[in-house]
């Protein structure tokens, strides 16, 4: 399992797409920190980019790499090695490579210019989102044999989590605006890893006052150690469930 993961990591880190992804993140991060006198504002601007780009690249790249590696996977499965180990090796290799790219592209500038709790929160959120959406991409890829359909499914899922879901939540909040919705909003946010990461990251900054009573309520929760554990727990569930479902489906799949 370790040998397969090592090969996948070595192969991906030389991939031109990953190099371009790392370079893009590095240039954007350095540019924002250079242009903004206040490093906290630069981190907030960087967060908006991370919440869109990281899930998109993680989904699309993981899906394409899975289909491009399908013949290699079939070759490995002719050896005495279980499907479960092969899929876990692929997931470990791809997710580790993408996290490494993110840490170089975003983590390095953040450590240089804004090494504090807010900067570390951004690094944590970006890394977790990489793992989450790589996991979701694996489930979408395993479920579909057709490459075009798999990539289309990945793009639709990204579009849903990044854009459509927020509209649905706002509609619900508007329809029930007369009711106390703090706990419901927290639950709804937990159903979208992008929203959960955004709320956790923003509330590490001194902007909760701009969000009124709801912001103060979230600040009390997410600003505590319990809030961190809750965020990590939900993110771990988002990472584990799709990849475990992918393993289960892959074990039953007719290659």
- Among the residue ranges 69-83, 153-167, 198-212, 224-238, the one predicted with the least confidence is 198-212
pLDDT of 133 reads: 96
Quick one: average pLDDT of 219-235?
Answer: 75
pLDDT in tens, 20-49: 999 999 999 999 998 887 787 888 889 888
pLDDT beyond 60 at 114 = yes
C-beta separation of 137 from 59 below 8 A: yes
pLDDT of 186 reads: 75
pLDDT beyond 80 at 122 = yes
Tell me the average pLDDT of the chain. 84
pLDDT of 181 reads: 65
Listed by start position, the domains of the chain span 2-252
Quick one: average pLDDT of 202-216?
Answer: 54
pLDDT of 106 reads: 93
pLDDT in tens, 139-184: 999 988 888 898 999 999 999 998 898 888 778 777 776 776 667 7
Quick one: average pLDDT of 57-61?
Answer: 94
pLDDT of 213 reads: 44
Q: Which of 16, 52, 109, 91 is nearest to 242 (CA)?
A: 91
pLDDT of 232 reads: 86
Q: Which of 53, 42, 49 is nearest to 113 (CA)?
A: 42
The angle formed by the CA atoms of residues 58, 63 and 69, to the nearest 5 degrees, is: 120
pLDDT of 229 reads: 83
Query: What's the predicted TM-score (pTM) here?
Result: 0.88
pLDDT of 209 reads: 46
Q: Which of 126, 150, 145 is nearest to 29 (CA)?
A: 126
Other beta carbons within 10 Å of 43: 27
Token pair belonging to 185: 């909003």
User: pLDDT-derived band of residue 210, with 50, 70 and 90 as boundaries?
Assistant: very low
pLDDT of 59 reads: 94
3-state SS, one letter per residue, for the chain? CHHHHHHHHHHHHCCHHHHHHHHHHHHHHHHHHHHCCCHHHHHHHHHHHHHHHHHHHHHHHHHHHHHHCHHHHHHHCCCCCCHHHHHHHHHHHHHHHHHHHHHHHHHHHHHHHCCCHHHHHHHHHHHHHHHHHHHHHHHHHHHCCCHHHHHHHHHHHHHHHHHHHHHHHHHHHHHCCCCCCHHHHHHHHHCCHHHHHHHHHHCCCCCHHHHHHHHHHHHHHHCCHHHHHHHHHHHHHHHHHHHHHHHHHHHHCCC
């Amino acid at each position: 399992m370790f040998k397969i993961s090592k090969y996948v990591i070595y192969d991906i880190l030389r991939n031109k797409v990953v190099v371009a992804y790392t370079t893009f993140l590095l240039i954007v991060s350095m540019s924002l920190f250079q242009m903004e006198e206040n490093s906290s504002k630069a981190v907030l601007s960087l967060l908006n980019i991370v919440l869109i780009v990281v899930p998109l690249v993680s989904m699309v790249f993981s899906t394409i790499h899975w289909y491009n590696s399908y013949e290699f996977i079939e070759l490995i499965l002719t050896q005495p090695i279980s499907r479960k180990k092969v899929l876990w090796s692929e997931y470990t290799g791809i997710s580790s490579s993408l996290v490494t790219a993110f840490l170089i592209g975003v983590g390095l500038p953040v450590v240089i210019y804004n090494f504090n709790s807010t900067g570390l929160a951004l690094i944590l959120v970006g890394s977790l989102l990489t793992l989450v959406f790589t996991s979701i991409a694996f489930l979408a890829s395993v479920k579909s044999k057709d490459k075009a359909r798999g990539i289309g499914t990945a793009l639709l899922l990204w579009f849903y989590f990044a854009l459509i879901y927020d509209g649905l939540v706002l509609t619900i909040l508007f329809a029930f605006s007369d009711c106390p919705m703090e706990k419901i909003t927290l639950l709804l946010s937990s159903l979208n890893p992008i929203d959960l990461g955004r709320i956790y990251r923003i509330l590490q900054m001194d902007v909760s006052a701009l969000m009124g009573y709801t912001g103060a309520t979230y600040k009390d929760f997410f600003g505590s150690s319990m809030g961190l554990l809750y965020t990590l727990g939900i993110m771990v569930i988002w990472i584990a469930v799709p990849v475990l479902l992918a393993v289960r489906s892959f074990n039953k799949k007719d290659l």
